[in-house]
Amino acid sequence: MQLKKYQQRTIDQLEEFLQELRKHGAKRAFMYITEKPYKSEAFGDVPFICIKIPTGGGKTLVGCEAVGKIISIALQDKLDRGIVLWFTPSEAIKTQTLKKLKDRKDWHRRMLDEAFGNNVKVFSNEEALSIRKEDVDDNLCVIVSSLDAFRRDKAKQAKYKVYQENGALLDHFQNIEETKVFELDEEKTVINSLANVVRKNNPLVVVDEGHKTTSKLSVDFLTELNPSFIIEYSATPRSNSNVLVDISASELKAEQMVKIPLELESAARWENVLESGIEKRNELEKIAKKLKGEYLRPIALLQAQADTGEASVTVDSIKNFLLERKIPEGQIAIKTSKKNEIDGVDLMSRSCEIRYIITVSALAEGWDCSFAYVLVSVANLGARVAVEQVIGRVIRMPQAKRKSQEELNRSYVFASARNFNEAADEVISGLEENGYSREDVIAGGKKVEKDPLEVKKKTNVTLKVPLMAIDGERLTFEGLVEDLQLAKQDPTCDFTVFYDGDGRATIDIKEDAWERSATQSLNLVYKDKNYSRDELVKWLDKKLRFAVLERTDKVAYIESVLDFLLNQHTLSELSINRYVLADKLSELINHRMEEYAEKKFVAIQKKKGVGVVAGNEFPDSIFLKKPVPREFNKNLYERIDPLNSEESEFVDRLDLDKLPNIEFWVRNREKIDPFYIQGWKKGKFYPDFIAVSKKGNTIALEWKGGDRISNDDTKYKEEVGNLWASFGKGKQHFFLVHKGNIEEVLTKLKGF
């Protein structure tokens, strides 16, 4: 399965953070990646980060991929084993998550199995009450639990089974040293509890909807579980979260994941609201029948009031209303805490007749059907009941693909309220709870001429920036190394193993490594399996993914490096230190590839085979994450996304200074916009800004903060940037810009 662009960007940024984390610790790593301060008040030195993804963005899928990255990079001492404690905000979402993670055919589970060689076991917190020591020693054990099962009031502690003495867990505590990590009973002995099993194993903690753990009670209980790493996912992060990746609603829309905008209509009488909802659903089904090659049956979610014994619009009231309008009973289903008529039903099957689902609040979480297009709420909006929670159930796009009929690219809400503004405020609140904004709501029936996050060019100018090329074809890293015979490359390398008699690996991280002080590691003895040579090769082959290389060639190189190292170390030592070995091999293979690519590049350049070709055109309109509320004089587009303070200062000079020769400039967004400079290194380089002069000069400008001016990456970018400029026959220019040379660069720009 291929991740969406924003999902892959999330994983890439997480991986970059984890690599920096190993070298410098959480604080410096976070500041390096985000240029924002790291907040350690809640969990001290335990790495604590947040991924912000709006509802409908696939948080669970990203979470599964992230688990593999965190354990293989930041928590290598676990050797692919131990406990992942996966917290959900409710029992409903817990059930849904368990279903995904236990089904070996589901993509979520397949991601985990792929990362951990099928040595994965999934438990509910109830099932984990009998988890065996062998389970934890030999597998990655994912325990899925609602927050409430662990979040306790110590005065009422007796009712929490995870903290209770449990004889089934006795084996976990044989010959274990008592430390301050464990919870003790009145006799000062370790309680044989699931909570203590978790503490013993320094779990990786995953928190779904992390904004629901804002209380001191929530923070305290997470701290008490002795985590080694905490990652949370939220559409609306709390103020003390360290937001490492911020995915915008516009990115979900660009990837066709959601039905936005949301059309809203309101009426005072509940009968009128229901009539409008029924009419809209029928209209959408007629439109859906025109789709070619796709089956779609729009469903309406009807939210009733709780039966208080007064004049409530109950589930039965709504069902009778539908039956009176000749809607077949087979098209109506009830989903409440007492009655579940959609349990086990495939709502997206052609054989399913259901078009109306009546609920109170049971759909607020843990339910997902992209056929849901219409939400009708007769609840009293003034009471702030579940409209804001249920909205997330209707915004997912079927098949994650825009439809040819615009009506099927929107979702619809019909609400009972005294006036439209009252309803709009509540619906907007609901969208914001799910990571969206008030711009995503429009009045029912209104034509959307332009998405608020879409900005267009201010002129009809065409911008195509030349790209690096070899023999008239666009240069790619893959092209440079396509004929590399890796197996024939030098297999020698320096590698130090650390090994003690108990069979534990001590991971060598380098002298400036970060040290975990808040988390107490219990120096566990892993009964680590000593791989055979072939098994170790297979394991390394799986861990080292290089799509550009032929697998047989890669395996042959792994074998040659292994044979070289076996002259210095035992197979047991290499096996125990296999994660360190995988890191070393990854670094070595990348070095060999770039070494080969550079030699080939230089050879082709000597033959004058390197040059430039036409690039792709910057589009007429783009989607922004959060447009800056100001206009620039010479920006190519109407608006731009926020800049950091230093970039903003430079742009102001570029835009407002007396540079009459500059016709326009544009921000060049990494991995989004069409201009990049490809050299002999693996990654593409996206200069931050492009300026175009009235004489037709194209100037690429790379802004660098003061702390990064002299590093190796910057030197490489400056080298390939100047090389790109040299092929422009005097019409292409490149500048590395920093605080110390702004005046010099602006002066030079005046001459182009």
Domain ranges (residues) in the chain: 46-247, 255-450, 491-593, 613-749
Give which of 446, 454, 385, 451 is closest to 412, Cα–Cα: 446
Residue type, 635: N
CATH of domain 613-749: 3.40.1350
Q: Tell me, what's the pLDDT at 387?
A: 52
Residue with tokens 């992209």: 370
What would the 3-class secondary structure string for 38-102 be?
CCCCCCCCCCEEEEECCCCCCHHHHHHHHHHHHHHHHCHHHCCCEEEEEEECCHHHHHHHHHHHH
Residue 55 CA to residue 372 CA, distance in Å, equals: 15
Q: Which of helix, strand or coil describes residue 352? A: coil
Beta pairing partners, 52: 234, 246
Question: What pLDDT, on a 0 to 100 scale, did the predictor assign at position 212?
Answer: 62
Which pLDDT belongs to residue 523? 46
Q: Is the peptide bond before 237 cis (omega within 30 degrees of 0)?
A: no
Candidates 3.30.1330, 3.40.50, 3.30.9, 3.30.1050; correct CATH number of 46-247?
3.40.50
pLDDT at site 219: 74
Strand 204-208 relative to strand 82-88, pairing: parallel
**β-pair partners for 468:** 612
Identical fold between 255-450 and 613-749: no
Q: Which helix (H) or strand (E) holds 28?
A: helix 26-34
| CA gap 747, 322 in Å, rounded | 73
φ and ψ at residue 366, rounded to 5 degrees: 75, 15
Question: Looking at residue 15, what is its pLDDT?
Answer: 94
Whole-angstrom distance, CA of residue 703 vs CA of residue 686: 11
The count of residues in the chain is 752
pLDDT at 516: 39
Kindly write down the DSSP assignment for every residue of 196-241, as one continuous string: HHHHHT--EEEEETGGG--SHHHHHHHHHT--SEEEEEESS--TT-
pLDDT per position as a tens digit, 20-34: 998 899 999 999 899
What pLDDT, on a 0 to 100 scale, did the predictor assign at position 527? Answer: 52
Distances in Å between the Cα of 642 and the Cα atoms of 168, 624, 625, 651 are 55, 10, 9, 11
Q: What is the pLDDT of residue 512?
A: 41
Close Cβ partners of 219 (under 8 Å, ≥ 6 residues apart) = 42, 43, 213
CATH class of 255-450: alpha beta
Closest CA to 138 of 110, 119, 122, 123: 119
The alpha helices in 336-459, defined as continuous H runs, are 387-390, 420-433
Q: Which residues contact 321 (CB under 8 A, 6 or more apart)?
A: 271, 274
Cα separation, 745 vs 731, whole angstroms: 16
Query: What's the rounded Cα separation, in Å, for the pair 209 and 250?
Result: 20
pLDDT of residue 518: 43
**Separation between Cα atoms, residue 557 and residue 563, nearest integer Å:** 10
How many Å apart are CA 317 and CA 323, to the nearest integer? 10
Whole-number Å distance between alpha carbons of 521 and 507: 14
The upper half-sphere exposure of residue 453, i.e. CA atoms within 13 Å in the direction of its Cβ, equals 21
pLDDT value of residue 694: 93
First CA to last CA distance, the chain: 48
Query: Mean pLDDT of successive 10-residue segments in the chain (752 residues)?
Result: 88 94 92 91 91 90 96 90 93 89 95 93 96 94 92 62 92 82 88 94 90 64 92 88 90 86 85 94 95 93 80 88 95 90 90 93 65 84 48 83 89 80 74 78 71 83 96 95 95 77 40 42 53 91 90 96 94 87 93 96 94 94 81 90 84 81 92 93 94 95 72 90 95 93 91 90
